[in-house]
Structure 1
């Protein structure tokens, strides 16, 4: 019975070690995603600049921000672009006069 127990324990710990390695590799790849996405966005912007393509403008959103109506501007920007709330807020905050 003892050899069977030894085999079972070895299999259990081997599986556990494999699981730890797999989880470590997964978490490492998640860390790289924002950096990789940033690099892709910079490359995309460089290509668009090279081709002379201007970034989209949202005059209605800009006007609301100038009027001091940031909530409406954020809502409208999200409707135009579909971005998350925090990204829309950052965009509108960048438009507002200091």
Structure 2
């Protein structure tokens, strides 16, 4: 009984480690693709259409970056890091 539990525990741990390795590779690959896409967008001088951009820019100009980030997140559904980077680019 103890041997079976130990064996199953080892199998589960190895499975989790394998899945984590695959996920980290996928995350790195996705980040690399995003960087390349950002470089292409900059090179082509394409500006992403941001809903409420004028209001976000007005908040940034008034020194209300936190409110600008919050508004960006609400209008686009972006996470905190992505919203902060976007507001920094708009500034």
Instruction: Settle same-fold status: TM greater than 0.5.
Output: yes
1:18-97 to structure 2, matched below 5 A, reads 18-42=11-35, 44-45=37-38, 54-57=47-50, 58-96=53-91
Q: Which structure has the larger Rg? A: 1
Shift of 1:26: 1.7
The two structures have a TM-score, normalised by structure 2, of 0.63
> Which blocks of at least 5 consecutive residues in structure 1 are unaligned?
1-7
Shift of 1:38: 1.2
Report the count of equivalent residues: 89
> Which blocks of at least 5 consecutive residues in structure 2 are unaligned?
none
1:27-79 Cα offsets, whole Å, 9 max, x none, are: 21232232122134345557778x98642242321232122121221122112
The two structures have a TM-score, normalised by structure 1, of 0.60
2:81 & 2:47 partners in 1: Cα distance?
Answer: 24
Could you tell me which residue of structure 2 aligns to residue 12 of structure 1? 5
1:66 & 1:90 partners in 2: Cα distance?
Answer: 16
